[in-house]
Amino acid sequence: MEVETTDFLIIGSGVAGLRAAIELAPHGSVLVATKDMPKESSTEYAQGGIAVALSDEDKVGIHFEDTLKAGDGLCNEDAVKILVGEGPERILELISWGAAFDKEGTKLDFAIEGAHSRKRVLHAKGDSTGKELERVLLNKVRSYTSVKKYPFAFTVDLIIKDGECCGAYILKDRKMTAIIAKATILCTGGAGQIFARTTNPMVATGDGMAIAFRAGAQLEDMEFIQFHPTSLYSQYAPQFLLSEAMRGEGAILRSINKEPFMKNYHRDAELAPRDIVSRAIISEMVRTESSHVYLDMTHLGKDFVRKRFPQIYSTCLQYNVEITNDLIPVSPAAHYIMGGVKTDINGITSIKRLYAAGETACTGVHGANRLASNSLLEGLVYGARTGSAAYQSSSGIKNLTAVKEQVSEHAAAYHSIPEHDEIRMTLRKLMWDRVGIIRCGESLKEAREKLSEWAFILDKVFYTRRELELKNMLTVAMMITEAASLRKGSVGAHYRSDYREKGPDWQKHIALFREDDRIKYSPA
Ligand code: SIN
């Protein structure tokens, strides 16, 4: 096996990974490993925008309050204070690096989305905010010769020696390579692909969470999955996200019979918190025995809609939906995981020299439900903080040679499962049907039983991306199902039809970890 060394290894190249790389670049060699092309991340597809308290009508304290309210009592307040407090500086820095956010005249234009009490969502080229962030951050990263990128490099497992993370085994050019590093940062994004309906790109298979779990790290809040109310619903189209900003600009949800319904569910109607809108849509679908509802923009000006949402306009047009004329068929889809690898406010995990940032991590900043457009900001703020912490705590580590000599072959023999794609499809459907928007003891039990039938996959060592992803998806699906079974109550985005109230011990956080090859949890 080839062995390479770097000072800092970053796994993932979305906003958190790139921002961490920029922080680390002046301090040593940085390797950014990513399983696809560097820009292929959830960041690239983020539409609506990035929330930040920078408008004349807003204050950091109001952004703080809105975030806590959305988090339904489970946010880590220190983490939220840092997010909203450091957010403005991170955004101004990004603008100084060339980010072109949309303006109204000479001033930045702020949009509103669900559960925000002020207009505070910056956007770029209408609905291509993530693309702009990725462009600027990748350009900035390119300006440092100390940063090297490995595209199409799949991180198989972490290298753990004496309880410390010393790097990772990476499959690249069909060869296993051990990358030895002083600090390793997981920034692999979310796990939406675990569900049959998702707004997430194909790369979002929970890899960072699964490899951290296998290495013995703690994960927390895994039961909290946010379902976005509106993704395009068509047999012939991909599950394309229809940004919440559309409802922010006045789009209306209508049942299959074309009746508006959100006022019957919440006083904020279309701008109610996402979990409420998603469940309202499901109720309407059940009531009218339909597979979708409609999003209606036809009353908004044609020119305005085309200018404000150019990407959404042209994508829908490809599937014969002209959004200024036609009602858009939509249904909810898995969008974001609030839980992840447990970290402190500096990205430090329960394993020494292992860090995590962005959607892979769980600082507790989103509590039980994330406020819309807070995740790109999280990537910037916590990517930078994690990079800085990784540098500071690695400055004493000089000699990587000792570890280099100890690294043995990752596996003597590789396995293959011919039916892996069938299992992947069945798993995604199972998670959507049984561990989706509305859960109950019975559905969770069924899911646990079915998932355990595939437990044989967890012991196998694979050599292809699809099989490696399946193993990670199964690991994360098991953790989500376990945590959802343990939380006997409904909080934030976790809703159980058999426990509709929060329940007596709702303020607990469920931490999961591996012991004797089983999922253990605390509080026990
Ligand atoms: C959206 O544009 O609706 C997604 C924004 C987010 O999830 O933060």
The CA–CA distances, whole Å, from 510 to 184, 369, 466 equal 25, 15, 30
Q: Answer whether residue 119 shows pLDDT above 70.
A: yes
* Architecture label for domain 231-333: Alpha-Beta Complex (3.90)
Q: Determine contact, residues 180/164, Cβ cutoff 8 Å.
A: no
Evaluate: CB of 360 within 6 angstroms of ligand 1: no
Distance 139 CA to ligand 1 centre (A): 24
Q: Answer whether residue 401 shows pLDDT above 90.
A: no
**DSSP one-letter code for 109:** P
Q: Determine contact, residues 191/177, Cβ cutoff 8 Å.
A: no
| Strands lying side by side in the sheet with 219-220 | 361-362, 340-342, 219-220, 511-515, 518-522
Q: Answer whether residue 268 shows pLDDT above 80.
A: yes
Evaluate: CB of 20 within 6 angstroms of ligand 1: no
* Architecture label for domain 413-500: Up-down Bundle (1.20)
Q: Of the residues 120, 197, 247, 274, which is catalytic?
A: 274
What is the band of 417 on the pLDDT scale with cuts at 50, 70, 90? very high
| pLDDT in the model for residue 410 | 66
Q: Which residue has the higher pLDDT, 503 or 395?
A: 503
Q: Answer whether residue 332 shows pLDDT above 70.
A: yes
| pLDDT in the model for residue 404 | 75
State yes or no: cis peptide before 273, omega within 30 of 0.
no
| Range list for CATH 1.20.58.100 in the chain | 413-500
Distance 45 CA to ligand 1 centre (A): 10
| Rg over CA atoms, the chain | 22
| pLDDT in the model for residue 411 | 63
Q: Determine contact, residues 26/15, Cβ cutoff 8 Å.
A: no
**CA nearest to 372, candidates 462, 473, 493, 256:** 493
Evaluate: CB of 67 within 6 angstroms of ligand 1: no
| pLDDT in the model for residue 48 | 87
Q: Mutation test of ligand 1: which of 63, 127, 241, 328 has the most ligand atoms closer than 8 Å to its C-beta? A: 241
Work out which ligand 1 atom sits closest to the CA atom of 127: 2
| pLDDT in the model for residue 405 | 72
Instruction: Tell me phi and psi for residue 229, to 5 degrees.
Output: -65, -35
* 274 given a catalytic annotation: yes
Q: Answer whether residue 396 shows pLDDT above 90.
A: no
- Whole-number percent of the chain with pLDDT over 70: 98
Using alpha carbons only, give the angle 428, 429, 435 rounded to the nearest 5 degrees: 85
Evaluate: CB of 48 within 6 angstroms of ligand 1: yes
| pLDDT in the model for residue 400 | 77
CA quadruple 155, 386, 491, 267: dihedral sign: negative
Evaluate: CB of 206 within 6 angstroms of ligand 1: no
Residue owning tokens 């079974």 = 485
What is the band of 524 on the pLDDT scale with cuts at 50, 70, 90? low
| Range list for CATH 3.50.50.60 in the chain | 2-216+338-406
Distance 307 CA to ligand 1 centre (A): 18
Report residue 370 CA to chain centroid gap: 10
What is the band of 406 on the pLDDT scale with cuts at 50, 70, 90? confident
The encoded tokens of residue 487 equal 């939380």
Evaluate: CB of 226 within 6 angstroms of ligand 1: no
CATH code for residues 2-216+338-406: 3.50.50.60
Q: Answer whether residue 235 shows pLDDT above 90.
A: no
Query: What is the arithmetic mean of pLDDT over 148-173?
Result: 96
| Range list for CATH 3.90.700.10 in the chain | 231-333
User: What's the pLDDT tens digit per position in 470-500?
Assistant: 999 999 999 999 999 999 999 999 999 999 9
Show the 3-state SS of 251-265. Answer: CEEECCCCCECHHHC
- Whole-number percent of the chain with pLDDT over 90: 92
Work out which ligand 1 atom sits closest to the CA atom of 376: 8
